[in-house]
Structure 1
């Protein structure tokens, strides 16, 4: 659902499947504090990052606006 939402906004993104890339699990845990997926990391123009865990449109929509 996150991918569909980002596609509808014509935004680019990287998908990392943690089952296919278990070496990235530590990174996901450090970024979000959990392994709940999806984890969306939005990098702003000032290089600050906002992390959205799960499909949380209330947080995701303003993060990508």
Structure 2
């Protein structure tokens, strides 16, 4: 659902499947503090990052502005 939302907004992203790249699971956990997926990291123009866990449109939509 996150991919569908991002595509509908024309937002570019990098998808990492942790089943295919289990070494990246640690990265996701360190960013989110959880083992849940998806973990979406939005990098702002000032290089700050917003981490959104799951399909949380209430947090994701404002992070993309």
TM-score (norm 2): 0.97
User: Post-superposition, which runs of at least 4 consecutive aligned residues in structure 1 deviate over 6 A?
Assistant: none
Shift of 1:18: 0.6
C-alpha displacement of 1:35: 1.5
5+ residue gaps, structure 1: none
Correspondences of 1:44-55 after superposition (within 5 Å):
44-55=44-55
Q: Deviations over 1:29-64 (max 9, x none)?
A: 100001100100000000000000000000000000
d(CA) in 2 for partners of 1:58 and 1:26?
Answer: 26
Q: Is 1:2 matched up with 2:2?
A: yes
Question: Once superposed, what is the RMSD of the aligned Cα atoms?
Answer: 0.5
- For residue 6 of structure 1, give the secondary structure of its aligned residue in structure 2: helix
Count of aligned pairs? 65
Match of 1:25 in 2: 25
